[in-house]
Amino acid sequence: MTTKLILVEGLPGSGKTTTAQFIADILNEQGKVETALFLEGNLDHPADYESVACLSESEFEALCAKNKEFCGVLREQAKRVGDDYFISYRKLNADTLMAQLRPKDVYELPLEKHMAVVRDKWTDFAENAQGQDRTYIFECAFIQNPVTAAMIKYNAPKETVIAYVNELAKLIEPLHPVLVYVDQSDSERSFKKAIQERPKDWFDFFIDYYTSQGYGLAHELSGLDGTLEVLRARKSLELEIMNQLAMKKVILDNSDFDHDVHKSQLMHCLSKAHLQ
């Protein structure tokens, strides 16, 4: 059984990006498989949506009518799937269009619609990937994004979130996936470390997103302390999901942020999964 998908998950600041890059490096050094690495924020992600708006036909036509000078570009760039139009608005390089399309982002859709759209995207990816001779490496798309949408944004019941991720897991079974969860013994320390290393805009957005809606709002949480409380709840749910998933999986402790040790652990993990 050839593994065609490696999923890297963990809380912000745990080392997901470094881990995903290490995995790609290790596999490329071995030269046994072609790899395709997709980090968080990739606008061309094959299984998820990043900065993509979803519009109904009437909404799309209204957008074109309102922005006649961009109508040709919109029709060329938009992808129609069923009754919906999908537009990667950050690729348009037009501030006025981005401002109009951002509220229609896939991650701003009502939860049921959002889950249906994302399930369809994963379905297409899984079908296409089966016929390709490569191993995909995804950072955060499989657990983090569903948990963020369902739990953090909409405060959906735990059972809904778990069922949603299990649906995605079923779709990718033919790819024989391996799940790597990057853990930290002190998640608060690792998050605060990330705050120091990232722009203030990231911190401000993160705090607002985690406390002004969904789970954070329902539990009357605010500020950094409130955000850390949401992160603790998120980690608890993610580990519960991990325990229920019927796929190859491993939890790696990256508490020391020792790259040499972490890469060695990954090499051992990939070897056990017969990927080296």
pLDDT band, very low/low/confident/very high, at 275 (cuts 50, 70, 90): low
Are residue 66 and residue 161 in the same domain, yes or no? no
CA distance 9 to 11: 7
Are residue 205 and residue 94 in the same domain, yes or no? no
pLDDT band, very low/low/confident/very high, at 269 (cuts 50, 70, 90): confident
pLDDT band, very low/low/confident/very high, at 32 (cuts 50, 70, 90): confident
Are residue 13 and residue 146 in the same domain, yes or no? yes
Structural Rg of the chain based on CA atoms: 19
Question: Strand 178-183 relative to strand 248-253: parallel, antiparallel, unpaired?
Answer: parallel
Q: 177: how many CB neighbours lie within 10 A of its CB?
A: 22
Give the pLDDT mean for 71-82: 95
Are residue 187 and residue 91 in the same domain, yes or no? no
Give residue-wise pLDDT tens across range 149-177.
Answer: 999 999 999 999 999 999 999 999 999 99
Give residue-wise pLDDT tens across range 85-103.
Answer: 999 999 998 899 999 999 9
pTM, 2 dp:
0.95
Query: Rounded mean pLDDT of the chain?
Result: 95
Q: What's the total number of domains in the chain?
A: 2
pLDDT at res. 30 = 85
**At 24, which CATH number?**
3.40.50.300
Are residue 41 and residue 71 in the same domain, yes or no? no
pLDDT band, very low/low/confident/very high, at 10 (cuts 50, 70, 90): very high
Are residue 11 and residue 24 in the same domain, yes or no? yes
Question: Hey, what are 160's tokens?
Answer: 């809904």
pLDDT band, very low/low/confident/very high, at 274 (cuts 50, 70, 90): low
Give residue-wise pLDDT tens across range 99-136.
Answer: 999 999 999 999 999 999 999 999 999 999 999 999 99
Are residue 81 and residue 209 in the same domain, yes or no? no
Domain boundary among 81, 104, 127: 104
- Domain residues for the domain of 38 are 5-49+110-272
pLDDT at residue 222 tops 80: yes
Contacts of 241 (CB under 8 A, 6+ apart): 143, 147, 161, 162, 165, 166
CA trace torsion 188, 192, 194, 195 (10° rounding) = 140
Are residue 160 and residue 190 in the same domain, yes or no? yes
pLDDT at residue 51 tops 60: yes
The residues pairing with 138 across neighbouring beta strands, listed in sequence order, are: 7, 38
CA distance 220 to 218: 6
Are residue 80 and residue 215 in the same domain, yes or no? no
**DSSP H or E run through 170:** helix 158-171
Contacts of 57 (CB under 8 A, 6+ apart): 83, 85
Q: In the chain, pLDDT over 70 holds for what percent of residues?
A: 99
pLDDT at res. 33 = 85
**DSSP H or E run through 84:** strand 84-88
Are residue 37 and residue 11 in the same domain, yes or no? yes
Give the pLDDT mean for 201-217: 97
